Every structure is written in structure tokens, then in C-alpha cells.
Copies of this chain bind each other. A is one copy, B any other.
Amino acid sequence: MSTNKDIEEGVEFIPKFDDKGLITAIAQDSQTGQILMVAYMNQQALEITIQTGYGTYFSRSRQKLWKKGEESGHVQKVEQILVDCDQDCLILKVTVDAGQCHVGYRTCFYRALKNNTNKKLEFIGDRAYDPNKIYGKRS
């Protein structure tokens, strides 16, 4: 059994998967620091990511492994993997060549709360590509 000190101050990688077997993984542009997306990994997705060097996740909606970019071609080359103090969250520092969000933006975080209130969102991201050309027209 690992102690808190082992987990927080040690050099052993002891990723903590939640009760659904998942760990949160943030993909961050290694060049700009921009946060691109947040997804989830099960143990297998993490192992594949480490082995292949490409961001691979577990899709909660589809309940299956999902190599980011397998459909769009917008893969994530992993440069570095960071873990937080209690080892229940990862950052993947990645190199990407194009938009990462299926809606067509470079990042999934393309909207901000207007004037920091909870009323309305404003768009702050630029379209990176036309998703209709990759995924077909959205309903």
C-alpha cells in the first residue's frame, strides 16, 4: 500500500484511476501552452499512449479506446507526460498540426464567460478547419 508521501513526493508512477477505471488527461500544446482538450484514459489507453507516443484515450460516450485523430488525422504527438501531486490527473504536452476540437477549433475551449458572469458565452477561438469536410454535416 502506497502512503501519501510515496504518491506525492516519490518517484514511482502510481496513477490513480477512478471508480470507473479512468484518469483525467489534459492535452496541452507543448509550444504555446494552450490547453487543447480534456479527455480520459483507462490503463490500456495510457499504456498505448506511452508505447506509441501518440495521444490515445478512452471515449466515455462510445465506451472504447480512441486514438485522437484516428478519423480526422489530427493526431497528438506526445512530448512529455506530467502527473499531479495525488497522481489522479495527467498533462500530455503534445505537438499538433491542426485543429483539435471536432467543432472545428484549434482547442475545445473556444468560448469564455462574457464579462465573467454566468449569463452568456462569447466565442474567443478561431476556426482551424471545416469539420463538415471531415465528419460530414452536423445535424
Contacts and interface: CB of A to CB of B under 8 A. Distances in A.
Number of copies: 2
A82 B121 CA distance: 9
Contact of A78 (B4, B35, B91, B116): B116
Given A50-B113, A91-B35, A116-B78, A108 B84 contact: yes
A80 interface: yes
A121 to B, nearest CB: 5
Given A10-B121, A50-B118, A121-B10, A83 B112 contact: yes
A13 B139 CA distance: 21
Interface residues of A, number: 53
B35 A34 contact: no
A139 B4 CA distance: 9
A45 interface: no
A17 to B, nearest CB: 13
A11 to B, nearest CB: 5
Contact of A33 (B11, B32, B119, B120): B32
Contacts of A138: 4-5
A109 B121 contact: no
Given A5-B138, A33-B32, A121 B83 contact: yes
B24 A38 contact: yes
Contact of A12 (B83, B108, B121): B121
